[in-house]
Structure 1
Amino acid sequence: MKLKSVKERLFAAILILTIVLGGVACSKGNNNVEPEPNEPDGKAVIVATFNIGYDNPGAGAGKRWTDRRQAVAKLIEKHKFDVFGAQEPLFNQLEDLKGLLPDYTYFGVSRDGKADAGEFAPIFYNKETIEVLESGQFWLTDADDKSVPSIGWDARYPRTCVWLKVKHKVANETFFVFNVHLDHIGGIAQRESTNLLMEEVPRIAKGDPYFLMGDFNYGHNSANYQLLVGSPNFVDTHGIAKRKINGDKGTFPGTPSYGRIDHIFVNETNSPTIRRYQIVTDSFSGILPSDHSPVLVEVVF
């Protein structure tokens, strides 16, 4: 009887320890690494931002566009992006992605205003699920005419905002998507571009739900980030998501101190439900798709 009692107590102790450790793992998983989510239902919309990295001929092995392009396409297909803002692609990269992803196309001209040359900040969308209702593009500049390319403030390059008004064919929901890639050098340009977006995005959307996304080149602890989320019209999806995957990771892994510099914001009022926020860290056969980790949100209206 004594031997049996010892065995029973030992089993109970192991069971309790297993439950406690399992609970700790689960609680950590909510904001770190979790199993792949279930297939989103038909009325969920996947919105994402993805700096795919420009075609740099001097990049090392495994980092060249010819090495990465299949991985970029596989990631987009795997996570079933409905609509996403891309940053840094050159025209040849856009053509490659259209060939690798025949269900997708894009809108936007380069930051130099050209349709077939330069660096773009386009919006891609799945033609099977997304219908484009309106489209536009303006430049982040202090020039009076923001419909033509110009360099604003102390920026190094022209910077632009591409936008679409779209309808999700299955969910039967209409919303706006704005995509940007802010300057990486000019501190004044970053601040004033943020101020301009705070004015123009709500003005264009006219009360409809909207997503402002892109590579902002400033982190979530920066003054410019606080300026944006401190306004009455923008909230970071990271903060309101029902579920986070890799939520505590940075989006520029090569420089962890930058934190999250790729963001997706929504309007604070009339905003959709953010069911999932995910910083995607996939690699394919050892190849990272880009030097940035894309960010996606699973949305229900």
Structure 2
Amino acid sequence: MNFCLISCNIRFDNPADGANAWPHRRQILAQTLLKHHPDIIATQEGRFNQLKDFESLLGDFTIIDEHRSWIKERMYPTIFVKKDRFEILKSEDLWLSETPGVAGSLSFESMFPRLMTWVKLQPKNSETNFFVVNTHLDHVKPQTRVNQVKVLIKEIKRFWNENSLLFITGDFNDSPQSEVRQTLLKEFPNLQDSWALFHQIEETSHHAFNGECQNGSRIDWVMVDKKAKVEDCVMDKGTVDGRYPTDHFPIICRLNF
């Protein structure tokens, strides 16, 4: 089975972004992602209205939110899947705090409440299922991110078993050399960094609509179960009429198993 997984921070709907505000780029973002013929799209940031609007632009995709009690002011990592490829078995949001089951809860001196969302998917015409996790960590303090990823690890272990292929995507707001990455791989040695399989030189994934960020790092990761074969992994750095679709480069990962 071949499939395409995309991770992309879509940048929240912020009128202060002017020409880069959501109404001016919503269609080019959808166009940019859909041209890769994805099967799963994992997004970070975005509030309720923006994410529902985005779903309307994605055509054959459905948002995984039946489990979700939306808090209008919160920004959510969200998973969209192609309707004709998967059966949705179960999904859940968990907050990266000392009380993961309490919606909107905040711990570890995080600037905002942060969360993970996960879905267990059964690909049609396949006996193997997927456990897909999407998250967005704090953007300020390194130790906050370490504590948040420890919650993420604990919660994954509660629900995931090795019969499912594990995929962890997200905006980790940290480099692949960070303690966050070390902590994650220590607990999940079955994971591999899809980007690192093809690129020896690190690149910046957040670019603030400028196409580059000299002091940045690759904070957007697609971590893939070693049981899956990664065919390719790239950043889409393209523009449409000179405009970037978002302030992060989408990570495009092609896999088979």
* Matching residue of 2:152: 197
Amino acid at match of 2:237: T
Cα separation, 2, equivalents of 1:236 and 1:196: 20
Q: Tell me, what secondary structure is at the counterpart of 1:177?
A: strand
Matched length: 251
Q: Tell me, what secondary structure is at the counterpart of 1:114?
A: coil
Question: What per-residue deviation string (whole Å, max 9, x for no partner) do you get for residues 46-86 of structure 1?
Answer: 1121100011111132x111111011110121011111211
* Matching residue of 1:85: 42
Cα distance change on mapping 1:171 and 1:300 into 2, 3 Å? farther
Once the two structures are TM-superposed, the CA of residue 110 in structure 1 deviates from its matched residue by 11
1:76 and 2:33 equivalent? yes
1:169 and 2:124 equivalent? yes
Question: What per-residue deviation string (whole Å, max 9, x for no partner) do you get for residues 8-39 of structure 1?
Answer: xxxxxxxxxxxxxxxxxxxxxxxxxxxxxxxx
- Choose the corresponding residue for 2:21, options 53, 64, 69: 64
Amino acid at match of 2:180: N
Gaps of 5+ in 1: 1-42
* Matching residue of 1:17: none
Aligned residues with identical type, % of pairs = 29
Contact 1:85/1:123 (8 A) holds in 2:
yes
Cα distance change on mapping 1:127 and 1:247 into 2, 3 Å? farther
1:52 and 2:20 equivalent? no
Cα separation, 2, equivalents of 1:58 and 1:164: 33
Amino acid at match of 2:28: A
* Matching residue of 1:138: 94
Q: Within 5 Å, which residues of 2 pair with 1:269-284? A: 271-284=227-240
Q: Tell me, what secondary structure is at the counterpart of 2:232?
A: strand
* Matching residue of 1:223: 179
Cα separation, 2, equivalents of 1:256 and 1:172: 45
Question: What per-residue deviation string (whole Å, max 9, x for no partner) do you get for residues 79-104 of structure 1?
Answer: 11111211111222112212212211
Cα separation, 2, equivalents of 1:93 and 1:53: 10
Q: Tell me, what secondary structure is at the counterpart of 1:224?
A: helix
Amino acid at match of 1:210: L
- Choose the corresponding residue for 1:119, options 72, 75, 79: 75
Once the two structures are TM-superposed, the CA of residue 247 in structure 1 deviates from its matched residue by 6.6
- What TM-score do you get using the length of structure 2 for normalisation? 0.88
Contact 1:136/1:162 (8 A) holds in 2:
yes
Contact 1:45/1:168 (8 A) holds in 2:
no
- What TM-score do you get using the length of structure 1 for normalisation? 0.76
Q: Within 5 Å, which residues of 2 pair with 1:238-257? A: 238-239=195-196, 241=197, 243=198, 248-254=202-208, 255-257=213-215
Once the two structures are TM-superposed, the CA of residue 171 in structure 1 deviates from its matched residue by 5.5
- Choose the corresponding residue for 1:258, options 216, 226, 235: 216
Amino acid at match of 1:153: F
Once the two structures are TM-superposed, the CA of residue 147 in structure 1 deviates from its matched residue by 4.4
* Matching residue of 1:103: 60
Gaps of 5+ in 2: none
CA RMSD of aligned residues (A): 2.4
Q: Tell me, what secondary structure is at the counterpart of 1:60?
A: helix
Cα separation, 1, equivalents of 2:34 and 2:42: 15
Cα separation, 2, equivalents of 1:185 and 1:108: 28
Cα separation, 2, equivalents of 1:293 and 1:138: 26
Q: Within 5 Å, which residues of 2 pair with 1:150-169? A: 150-169=105-124
Contact 1:247/1:279 (8 A) holds in 2:
no
Q: Tell me, what secondary structure is at the counterpart of 1:281?
A: coil
Once the two structures are TM-superposed, the CA of residue 275 in structure 1 deviates from its matched residue by 1.0
Once the two structures are TM-superposed, the CA of residue 200 in structure 1 deviates from its matched residue by 2.4
Once the two structures are TM-superposed, the CA of residue 227 in structure 1 deviates from its matched residue by 2.6
